[in-house]
Structure 1
Amino acid sequence: MLSKEINRADIRQKSKQRHLTEETKKLIIFIVIMVGVFLSSFITPPEGLESQGLRMLFIALAAAILWMTEAIPIGVTALVIILLQALYGITPLTNGLALIAHPVNAVVLVGYLLAGALVSSGMDKRLSLTIISKMGEKTSRLMLGIMFVTAFLSMWMSNTATTAIMVPIAAGILTMAGAKPLKSNLGKALFIGIAFSANIGGMGTPTGTPANPIAIALLHSLAGIQLSFLDWMVRALPLVIVLLPVSWLVLLKVYPLEIKVVEGGLDAVKKQLKDMGPLKNTEKKVMILFSSAIFLWLLDSFIPLPKDWIYIVAVFLTIILVTPKIGFMTWKHAQGLIGWEVLFLVGGGLSMGAGLKATGTIDWIAGLLSSSLGQMPEGLAMAVITAATGLGITVFCSLSGTATTFVPIAIVLALNFGWDPIAFAVAAGLASSFAFLLPANAAPNAVAYGSGYFKTLDMFKAGAIMIIFSIVIQGVLSGFVLPFIF
């Protein structure tokens, strides 16, 4: 008994030491990065870039490294950006902090609350089970059904929350099928498919993932162009519609399913649906809410409405969601659902974009790229930007960070050469969600990885193919197909 207690104490001590070692590494990284930013004041800027522009470039590089290493929380990294810009006189602190309350965060905020309403009502599970029940017992079709549900839900709520909803449903199907973690191709394909489809679905609407409203906000601030909800959807949905079945086929090819039919699986799903009974009042309310949200968001594409209608609707829905008797939750409950660090991240990202523009840094970077991209046809140049952004997510491991970095460059390049800034902004914004390679690239990947059904290398094998397909398909759509439509 005494030896067991000693062992436990030893394990706790070693765990504590490992934690301290990790914390020390993070502190060293943070200090080195801050020293690097400080030293930028003593470096002669390259030709064409002012001293303030060089400092802003170092701040952007520091933010990128902090996002990649997570030496400090990503929300705090946003505050570091705002603080450094204020200290160097690039952006007043008041202006930087004000961007945390930028209207774009109203869309991000309501996305979290809509997800909470869906989950608390039980409508998420009913919708998932209903679609799965229509797909039959063939595992390939069940997998397609689960991926379709995941993508659809991710269009309207957090990709992470959607993945968390689908993981237990998928795990139950795999248990019925007798699939073994790490050994079953069905398990690998299904859970990687959930991660892929969450990222793909998130591209479809401005509420799908923070990278989308960031792209919309940057387009407005840098080019003076305001996209409506429908404007984004009609440009993004073609990619979603094509990529979803492509990802399904890629996974079936990379991981041929060893289990073809889930015996009794369909019966179990139908039993769960039956046990849920008829639609409850709360489920009816949430369906009305979702329908109203979609209707209101699309309305400004058909009739003249106040400026920033997309954000006005988001604020209105937020109020409704927490209004007693009418809504679905108390404000205290709502606060636990909100990804506060993402709101800070969006604000910091917008502040960085404004700083890069104000100091001429974006124009300087665009100038460096002009010699190569400027000689290309517009469609090919857009495809190159798509490829650079799509590969960038693998380095940044943050959809918002990737969008913040690449979307401004895409917009300025388009403006410099007389190309369509909307097409370039949307292309870079969508490519920010090409998080297919590693579990660490995006939160949905990490949640699916936590199921224990696949290894990092398993996702890498399918993800490498998906990134190539995504870059090519998005390049063709945005560079050569959509220009004939818009």
Structure 2
Amino acid sequence: MKTNVKRIFFILLGLVLFLALYYAPQFSPAVDPSGKSFALTQQGKAAIGLFLLAGIWWVFEVIPLGVTSIAIGVFQALFLIRPAKDAFRDFMDPTVLFILGSLLIGLAFTKAGITKRIAYKMLDVVGEDTRKILLGVFIITALLTHIMAHTAVAATMFPILVAILALYGEGQDGKPTKFGKALFIGMAYTAGAGSICTLLGGARNPAAVGFYKEFTGVDVSFIDFSLHMAPFGWITVFLIWALLMIIYKPEKTKIPGLREKARAEYAKLGPVTKQEIFVGVVVFCALAMLVMQAVVPALKPMDRSVPLLAAGLLFFLSNILTVEDLEKKVPWNIVLLFSGAMSIGFCLWQTGAAQWIAIKWLGLLVNAHWLVFVLGICFLVLIMSNFIMNVAAIAITLPVALVIAKYLGVNPELILYGATAMAGMPFLLLIGAAPNAMAYESKQFTTGEFFMTGIPASAMIMGILVIMTFTYWPLIGLTPLIH
């Protein structure tokens, strides 16, 4: 058996970094602008080490992604970072069950034949130009995230993209293609970009608005939020398309005969079946309930995972989904990946490690120029969102940032919108957002390719933030500084 030196190197690198931090002497406490001190406990120090180990093992795929997640739980219990019942309880957090529910909906869409119907109809409209096909996919993905959580959108879009890729024709036998890489990475990125446009795109949007109201006393309306964020999201969608056309220029500019082929395949499907209507109605009701949760106070206590899991339950009760689907077609590697992401996220949060990192970083920006301060805050949120839940990244960063903003005379609204935008677009790691992990299931790209593509994409959204700060936002009354 051939020894994989690179794999062994990264396994050992992760372990060495973890042990180096675990046994390192205590670090100095972090001090916030009000003078409050935050010590880093031994458990917090170990959590940062585990965070680095997990990041390296995930990026370089030294073992299956889901197995790295299991290691996260084991290390927490083994090194007494958190009790085993806490470390592993997070594996069944409602957010993980929300992702499972989304996957079940996507599976039902595929089995009923709805995904092929949508894919063929879309290809009939956009035609044979591969660039237009990609742009069409990205626009539909972003539009759907205005009214649905981006996880549910990714689960809906994934099987449609698989059907489109099959018609592309290159890379048979599941071999990756540049078109496939652009298709799935672009879907993940545009799901994030679209999700920042309204308060319904993700839990981090209303959470950020809630923190802002708590610290400033000012309520941000649905329309106000969209007025500031929708242009940011849509500029990002089109620039992601342009960026991917450069990095992953499709092997073919046109797919001759695709429109006719799509029409012929659509005709083969025949009239809409009762099964398709049933699946469509159930999914519509589940998504309607998700939308209503944001506006109907009585529904807010119900977790957002419930409508999707209820839909999945109905699909099993009606025999649309079977035990074979549960065993063979649900990507448990991805479910476990997110279970581990939740566990390490809560570990960093509960041990105080995340707060210590945030306050240390923000402390460097207290006397900085206002633009450096704003970019520093947003960069921190961007990086943290790739490793821990974006809601947690907002919860850790925004309160401290709003205090420092007041001290520097920076408009707190600028911090709100900049930080929320970055929290919605973690483009570096699969664990940053569910659409990233779902896109990986296509097997069209590696975690390393996703990471490398995410570097220019992340730099690009930081650049868009600067442009918005000096152009569009001042036009609608958001000045960077309070005079």
Give TM-score scaled by structure 1 length. 0.70
TM-aligned CA distance change 1:50 to 1:117, over 3 Å? same
**After superposition, what is the alpha-carbon deviation per residue over 1:392-415, rounded to whole angstroms, capped at 9, x for unaligned?**
49xxxx945484885454234335
Distance 2:231 2:49 in 1: 33
Q: AA paired with 2:114?
A: M
The match for 2:190 is 200
Listed as ranges, the gaps of 5+ residues in structure 1 are: 1-13
- Give the Cα separation in 1 of the matches to 2:249 and 2:7: 42
| 2:377 counterpart (380, 385, 400) | 385
The residue aligned with 1:108 is 99
Confirm whether residue 470 of structure 1 aligns to residue 467 of structure 2.
no
Report the CA distance between 1:301 and its aligned residue.
3.6
**Match for residue 283 of structure 1?**
276
Residue 431 of structure 1: SS of its match in structure 2?
Answer: coil
In 1, Cα distance between equivalents of 2:369 and 2:74: 37
Q: Which residue of structure 1 lines up, in the alignment, with residue 19 of structure 2?
A: 35
Cα distance in structure 1, aligned partners of 2:308 and 2:292: 15
Q: What amino acid does structure 2 have at the position aligned with 1:107?
A: F
Tell me which residue corresponds to 1:270: 263
TM-superposed CA distance for 1:271, in Å, is 0.6
In the other structure, the counterpart of 1:7 is: none
Instruction: Output one character per residue of 1:127-185: Cα deviation in whole Å (capped at 9) or x when no partner.
Output: 12111111133443233224445556783547488456524523523559x9xx99xxx
Aligned-pair CA distance for 1:270: 0.7
* 1:188 and 2:178 are equivalent in the alignment: yes
Amino acid aligned to 2:57: T
Q: Matches of 1:56 and 1:347 in 2, distance apart?
A: 16
- Choose from 324, 329, 333 the match for 2:325: 333
Task: State the 1:370 CA deviation.
Answer: 2.8
Match of 1:429 among 423, 428, 437: 423
Q: Alpha carbons of 1:267 and 1:444: their partners in 2 closer, same or farther (altered >3 Å)?
A: same
Q: Deviations over 1:74-97 (max 9, x none)?
A: 312431464268x25xx5554444
Q: CA offsets per residue over residues 271-308 of structure 1, 9 Å max, x none? A: 11111112122221222123212221121343322443
Q: Write the letter of the residue equivalent to 2:272.
A: L
The 2-side partners of 1:291 and 1:25 are apart by 48
Tell me what 2:117 maps to: 126
From the superposition, tell whether residues 299 and 428 of structure 1 become closer, same or farther in structure 2 (CA, over 3 Å). Answer: same
Q: For residues 128 and 281 of structure 1, what CA distance do their matches in structure 2 show?
A: 19
Q: Does 1:349 align with 2:344?
A: yes
Does the CA-based 8 Å contact 2:115-2:160 persist in structure 1?
A: yes
2: CA distance, partners of 1:399 / 1:160: 20
Match of 1:45 in 2: 27
Aligned residue-pair number: 436
Q: Distance in 1 between matches of 2:94 and 2:27?
A: 35
CA contact (8 A) 2:22 2:45 kept: no
Is the aligned partner of 1:414 residue 2:401?
yes
Assess, with a 3 A threshold, how the Cα gap between structure 1 residues 232 and 120 changes in structure 2: closer, same or farther.
Answer: farther
- Corresponding residue for residue 47 of structure 2: 59
Structure 1 residues 404 and 213: alpha-carbon distance in aligned structure 2, compared to 1, 3 A threshold = closer
Counterpart of 2:165 (choices 163, 170, 178) is 170
Residue 145 of structure 1, aligned match among 136, 154, 157? 136
* Residues 22, 49 of structure 2: 8 Å contact kept: no
Query: 1:50/1:443 Cα in 2 relative to 1: closer, same or farther (>3 Å)?
Result: closer
User: What is the CA-CA distance between 1:268 and the residue it aligns to?
Assistant: 0.6
Instruction: Call closer, same or farther: CA 1:110–1:152 in 2, change over 3 Å.
Output: farther
Q: Secondary structure at the match of 1:115?
A: helix
Q: Counterparts of 1:304 and 1:281 in 2: how far apart (Å)?
A: 34
Q: Distance in 2 between matches of 1:233 and 1:119?
A: 34
Please name the residue that 1:69 is paired with.
Answer: 57
**Conserved 8 A contact 1:322-1:334:** no
Question: Which whole-Å CA distance do the structure 1 matches of 2:282 and 2:379 have between them?
Answer: 38
Which residue of 2 is the match for residue 11 of structure 1?
none
Moved more, 246-255 or 442-451: 442-451
Work out whether residues 381 and 419 of structure 2, in 8 Å CA contact, stay in contact via their aligned partners in 1: no
Aligned partner of 1:271: which letter?
A
Equivalent of 2:72 in 50, 53, 78: 78
Contact 2:128 2:256 in 1 (8 A): yes
Q: What's the offset of the Cα at 1:266?
A: 0.7
Equivalent position SS for 2:103: helix
> Is 1:304 paired with 2:304?
no
Stretch deviating more after TM superposition (103-112 or 24-33)? 24-33
Report the CA distance between 1:485 and its aligned residue. Answer: 8.8
Superposition deviation, residue 24 in structure 1: 5.3
**Distance in 2 of aligned mates of 1:231 and 1:57:** 42
Contact 1:137 1:263 in 2 (8 A): yes
SS in 2 for 1:372: coil
When the two chains are superposed, the root-mean-square deviation of aligned CA atoms in Å is: 4.9
Q: CA deviation at 1:388?
A: 4.7
Residue identity opposite 2:401 in structure 1: A
Gaps of 5+ in 2: 31-36, 407-411, 479-483
Q: Is the CA contact 2:394–2:419 (under 8 Å) kept in the aligned structure 1?
A: yes
How far apart, CA to CA, are the structure 2 residues paired with 1:224 and 1:99? 28
Give the distance between the partners of 1:93 and 1:195, measured in 2 at CA.
35
Shift of 1:341: 0.9
The 3 A distance-change label for structure 1 pair 77 and 325 is closer
Of 334-343 and 156-165, more deviation after overlay is shown by 156-165
TM-score with structure 2 setting the length? 0.70
